Structure 1
Amino acid sequence: MESDLHQVLGDLVVVNHRLTRVAARAAGGTESPALWRTLSVLRGSGPLRLGALAESSRVSQPTATNLVTTLDELGWVHRRADPTDARASLIEASDAGLAALDAWRDKLIAALMPLFADLGPAEIETLRHAVEIVAARVDPVDVVGAAGGDTVGSVGTGARL
């Protein structure tokens, strides 16, 4: 049983990466995937300090700084003073950033539809159930952190990026 689970989880990770690459390539996006990942983290977490955002996005702090600068120039994030430390800023997704993220998700879905258009109701229900199983285990870990540390952020229950 554990061996089967080990194999299935490995296959799930690999196929998820492949699905994401196929969708992004087919959607013709030009933005860095890191921009979308950063907005996704902010959607689920609310305002974060730069260090927490870098940790959640699994990038270095200088990379997070560059991402936030780009997102700020696009009008997709807001920076505001941290009320607990005037030297620090909190970064949060703007309405425009969330709208851009939703539009990107819609492009990804449209790009994937031809690959899945022939699925029947039972197969669609199987996928729905698989998403629910994965989301129920991943979202709480994302919120609390794999080591039970600081709160980081969640992409939701499979409903949004």
Structure 2
Amino acid sequence: MPETLITTEADTAALRQTLGDLVVASHRLTRIAARVTGSTESPATWRTLSVLQSAGPMRLGELATQSRVSQPTMTKIVRNLVDSEWVKRIADTDDARAWQIALTPRGADALQNWRDTLADALVPMFADITEEELAAMSLTVQVIASRADLSAAASAALSGR
């Protein structure tokens, strides 16, 4: 069966609605999972580690922007993450006066453990889904990940990285 691209205004409106619903559902699911785990770690901590894992080392200001927090807030987050040995400061090769923040193997492990904990917390909510629903969820993840990867690549190209 040939694939049909979205070309009409009605298709675009349906896409817009679905994407909005997806973001809301995703945020809701994340909050439910975090509440079920009982973790006291800030969501900004996990978001910061995730940004570093996907984008690599970066300066504090860029990390704050990517994590959607203020620079003073990111300074506190990074201080705590350095104390936990989840991130480290490394010399910026472009500016000897500046530092970049990098994820450590211990931080990557902590992030993976957190993701595993979230998934484990959600399994009971989805234990009754069908194989078709699981396949649809898997395909949705693949589509979103591919678009997010394209967006990250485009952003990196625009910023000269």
TM category, shorter? 0.7 to 0.9
Indicate whether 1:144 and 2:144 are aligned: no
Match of 1:99 among 93, 101, 109: 109
Could you tell me the percent identity over the aligned residues? Answer: 50
| Alignment match, 1:73 | 83
Give the partner amino acid of 1:144.
Answer: A
Indicate whether 1:111 and 2:160 are aligned: no
- Distance in 1 (alpha carbons) for counterparts of 2:110 and 2:133: 30
SS in 2 for 1:81: strand
Indicate whether 1:56 and 2:58 are aligned: no
Give the partner amino acid of 2:100.
Answer: L
- Distance in 1 (alpha carbons) for counterparts of 2:32 and 2:160: 31
- After superposing the two structures, state which structure 1 stretch, 14-23 or 77-86, moved more: 77-86
Distance 1:16 1:121, change over 3 A: same
In the alignment, structure 2 segments of 5+ residues that lack a partner are 1-10
Give the root-mean-square deviation of aligned CA atoms.
1.7
Higher RCO, 1 vs 2 (CA within 8 Å, ≥6 residues apart): 1
Q: How many positions carry a matched residue from both structures?
A: 151
* TM-score, length of structure 1 as denominator length: 0.88
Q: Which has the higher helix share?
A: 2
Deviation at 1:33, TM superposition (A): 0.3
SS in 1 for 2:102: strand
| Alignment match, 1:39 | 49
Q: Structure 1 runs of 4+ off > 6 angstroms? A: none
Residues 78 and 92 in structure 1, CA contact (< 8 A), matched pair in contact too: yes
Match of 1:23 among 12, 24, 33: 33
Deviation at 1:144, TM superposition (A): 3.4
SS in 1 for 2:100: strand
Give the partner amino acid of 2:68.
Answer: R
User: Highest Rg: 1 or 2?
Assistant: 2
SS in 2 for 1:91: strand
SS in 2 for 1:122: helix
